[in-house]
Structure 1
Amino acid sequence: MTTTVTAAVARSTGEPLTIESLQLDELRPNEVRVRIVASGVCHTDAIVRDGIYPTPLPAVLGHEGAGVVEGIGSDITTVEVGDHVVLSAAYCGKCVQCRSGRVAYCENLFAEDFGGARHDGSTSLSDGNGAISSHFFGQSAFSTYANVVETSVIKVDKKAPLETIAPLGCGLQTGAGAILNDLRPAPGTSIAVFGTGAVGSAAIMAAQIAGCTTIVAVDLHDSRLELAETIGATHTINGRTADVVAELDKITGGKGLDFALDTTAVPAVLQQAAASLGIGGTVALVGAAAPGTDVTFEIGASLVKGWTFKTIIQGSSVPQQFIPRLVLLWEQGRFPFDKLIKNYELDDINTAFADSENGSTIKPVVVF
């Protein structure tokens, strides 16, 4: 038996999403029916809409969903009807990386999260003309209801408001996890975060949690830098008007940074981050660039630094473990990501995308 849902559909590359009535099919044994209460809007949704990543269109995107469980498949053991859940990236659970606890680096990541269909090739969504790509990040949360794979489902405290915690599923998890799960800076160390959108802002908050004592926010928008100061940044630099490398040299007293995190994926910015490292420093990239993007680094004078470059996906987290921890940190006031959020109705989803792109909203959340 199918269910009629209202969803935002990406019909063609680079075009605005359209609000449509679609048919949602029956649950499969490994799926959870979720009534979506809210879904964050993320940069990854935009780059898929724009054809940079290969999900077949038309598709229902959305991968920061939160909602209430309304049905479970016969194989489901981790949640029950009535549970409140946050939705995150899917993973196969069977490959070497997943079995090693590195689910963010699942060997089947593109098939699980960007394939637009179940393993058997079917989609859960359709209209009168045929199939619509579904299961984006295992969920396709820009819809009033979704059939979600079990690995995407994280049970959360019912006291936490779903419209607030929805964006923990991707961007905020990525920024916070890059710090707390992967880089793990020691108390008293220095870090610069390049780009203070949702991912960068989460990283700044996490750096404060970790005990970093020099936390530098670098951005092109003064309004974002002002907000960064309220959530943990000790210094700010406007990259449009200042010499970023020179300013970071001053801030660190000539020692250079212990850590740098680039959320922009702009090659020139990543070069600045690497050039600002001290001896033994680490620069990490979490921003998504188009496949084939190259960056060049100076390898002469910097050889003696012994510095490290690494990439991080999804905060190197196990969502079922990490997201409940972030909820607890938020409830204690130590991870105040709610300061980043602005709510939008589903009909205004294209405005949410535009506001995210122009920097006027750090984390848009569509509330159903």
Structure 2
Amino acid sequence: MQGTAAILREPNQPFSIETVQFDPPRAGEVLIRIRAVGICHTDMVFASGAMGSPFPLILGHEGAGVVEAVGEGVTKVRPGQKVLLTFNSCGRCSQCHSGDPAYCQEFVALNFACVRADGSSCAHDDTGQVSARFFGQSSFASHAIADERNVVALPDEADLASLAPLGCGIQTGVGAVLRSLKAQAGSNLVVLGAGAVGLSAVLGGKIAGCSKIIMIEPQEARRQLALELGADHAIDPATGDTAEQVRAILPQGANNVVDTSGNVGAISAALGMLAPHGALGLVGVPGSLDAALPLPIVPAITYGYTIKGIIEGDSDPDTFLPELIALHAAGKLPIERFSTIYPFDQINQAIADSHSGKCVKVILELPA
């Protein structure tokens, strides 16, 4: 079947809108007509080539659309149904069986390899195979082929452009607070970075009932947005030592810290703002695979710090995404406040605007 895709032929190059051929879905697969897709920081990390991505490549992992066809054995969704796409998981390992598919033992192969298990792709052009299984979807395209496990059914009235980012960035930020760190009502929260994930963490803090929420962010407009969304304080890291500034507000230190920046210097400073039994959640992906965090071991032991890596907000999509959809409907996840919609063919301009700080969360909208 013929469609279009934003193809990246080499690292750090502009995306090119091109014609591609999509295979029909195999057993257990779902063919989705993509109507909207968010652009996430992780897309840009893989676009850089730093993660060894196979090119030519179709990225995109916050897709939303309508099911066009299903492969043999699929019962979870049906043609004509609106769906959200999210990360993939095997459904067989101990982590999946225990309700922790974000830590699936095959997560890397299923989400980062960008091809099927047999090495094939579902997308091709005149020159051959185009890698198209990023996060089990590669949704920077008119169509995506996902597995039954990484699609979640939506109500018929769902606004696909509004809900698309729930599949990764929003569930990561909210889930980091609610599920990964399990922030308690009355505890405090510090968030590093006011991108879409960081702002979602602020919203998660409000939902959790955190007594004080502090945002650390260099861009003034984003600091202001964090305050409007529920942060009590917003710190400019350029004005001085961030740990000292946090402790001026929270003398006992921070119970929960969520880093969405991936900046090693910012994360190192965050260790100095933790309260006894404080927890630091690492969400932001650094720019290199060998990025390392120096850990002051004696204070970590003495004060019982927890440092936790977080993937996808510890989400179990079949249960957590419906919760987020309900929170959005109730007005508790006003993600439209930091989302900007662009036509799909303006993907390169949208990325440039995001990098410049002109917008926070980009959503690409495709024609029906």
Scaled by the length of structure 2, what TM-score is found? 0.97
- Displaced runs of 4+ in structure 1, greater than 6 A? none
CA deviation vs aligned residue, 1:45-77 (integer Å, no higher than 9, x gap): 111111122321101110000001111112101
Correspondence for 1:141: 139
One-letter amino acid of the counterpart of residue 250, structure 1: A
Q: Does 1:316 align with 2:319?
A: no
CA deviation vs aligned residue, 1:159-186 (integer Å, no higher than 9, x gap): 2200110011111111111111111111
1:282 to 279, 282, 296: 279
Within 1, Cα distance between the matches of 2:356 and 2:278? 32
Q: Does 1:365 align with 2:356?
A: no
Q: CA deviation at 1:356?
A: 2.1
One-letter amino acid of the counterpart of residue 344, structure 1: Y
One-letter amino acid of the counterpart of residue 349, structure 2: T
Aligned partners of 1:261 and 1:273 also within 8 Å: no
Correspondence for 2:241: 243
Within 2, Cα distance between the matches of 1:279 and 1:239? 23
One-letter amino acid of the counterpart of residue 273, structure 1: A
Correspondence for 2:84: 86
Aligned partners of 2:339 and 2:362 also within 8 Å: yes
Correspondence for 2:19: 21
CA deviation vs aligned residue, 1:131-161 (integer Å, no higher than 9, x gap): 0001111111011111211111011222220
Within 2, Cα distance between the matches of 1:149 and 1:338? 28
Q: CA deviation at 1:104?
A: 0.3
Within 1, Cα distance between the matches of 2:277 and 2:126? 59
Q: Structure 1 residues 298-307 or 268-277, which shifts more? A: 298-307
Correspondence for 1:212: 210
Q: CA deviation at 1:301?
A: 4.5
1:100-119 map, 5 Å: 100-119=98-117
2:257 to 241, 257, 260: 260
1:145-160 map, 5 Å: 145-160=143-158
One-letter amino acid of the counterpart of residue 360, structure 1: K
Within 2, Cα distance between the matches of 1:337 and 1:323? 14
How many residue pairs match? The answer is: 365
Aligned partners of 2:82 and 2:158 also within 8 Å: no
Aligned partners of 2:215 and 2:226 also within 8 Å: yes
One-letter amino acid of the counterpart of residue 153, structure 1: V
SS in 1 for 2:238: coil
Aligned partners of 1:344 and 1:366 also within 8 Å: yes
One-letter amino acid of the counterpart of residue 202, structure 1: S
CA deviation vs aligned residue, 1:284-330 (integer Å, no higher than 9, x gap): 10011221111112234554211111111110001121111111101
SS in 1 for 2:57: coil
Correspondence for 1:54: 52
Q: Does 1:352 align with 2:350?
A: yes
Within 2, Cα distance between the matches of 1:115 and 1:304? 41
Within 2, Cα distance between the matches of 1:301 and 1:261? 19
Within 1, Cα distance between the matches of 2:206 and 2:42? 26
Correspondence for 1:95: 93
SS in 2 for 1:240: helix
Correspondence for 2:266: 269
Question: Runs of 5+ in structure 1 lacking a partner?
Answer: none
One-letter amino acid of the counterpart of residue 280, structure 1: H
2:75 to 74, 77, 83: 77
Correspondence for 1:178: 176
Within 2, Cα distance between the matches of 1:178 and 1:225? 20
Cα RMSD (Å):
1.1
Sequence identity, in percent? 38
Question: Runs of 5+ in structure 2 lacking a partner?
Answer: none
Within 2, Cα distance between the matches of 1:88 and 1:257? 31
